[in-house]
Amino acid sequence: MRFVLTQLANGRQFILVSTDGSLSGPEVIAAYGLRFKIELTFRTLIHLLGGFAYRFWLKAMTPAPRWPKTLKLADYPESVQAQILTKVEALERFVNLNAIALGVLQVLALELPTLVWSNFPRWFRTLPNHGYPSERIVQLALQYQAQEVFPKSPPTLLLPKFLAAKLGPQNPPDSLPLSA
Between residues 105 and 119, which one has the greater pLDDT? 105
Q: Kind and range of the H or E element at 50?
A: none
Q: In the predicted model, is pLDDT for residue 92 greater than 70?
A: yes
All structural domains of the chain with their residue ranges: 1-47
Q: Confidence band (pLDDT; 50, 70, 90) for 179?
A: very low
Q: What is the pLDDT of residue 13?
A: 92
- Mean pLDDT highest for which of 11-15, 63-67, 161-165? 11-15
Q: What is the pLDDT of residue 180?
A: 39
Between residues 79 and 3, which one has the greater pLDDT? 3
Reference 90, options 60, 53, 56; nearest CA is 56
Q: Confidence band (pLDDT; 50, 70, 90) for 1?
A: confident
What is the rounded average pLDDT for all residues in the chain?
Answer: 80
Structure confidence by residue, pLDDT tens digits, 99-109: 999 999 999 99
Give the dihedral of Cα atoms 158, 163, 50, 115; nearest 10 deg. 60
Structure confidence by residue, pLDDT tens digits, 125-178: 777 788 899 888 898 888 888 767 666 767 677 776 776 776 666 555 455 444
End-to-end CA distance of the chain: 46
Least confident of 13-17, 20-24, 109-113, 163-167: 163-167
Rounded to whole angstroms, the Cα distance separating 45 from 66 reads: 28
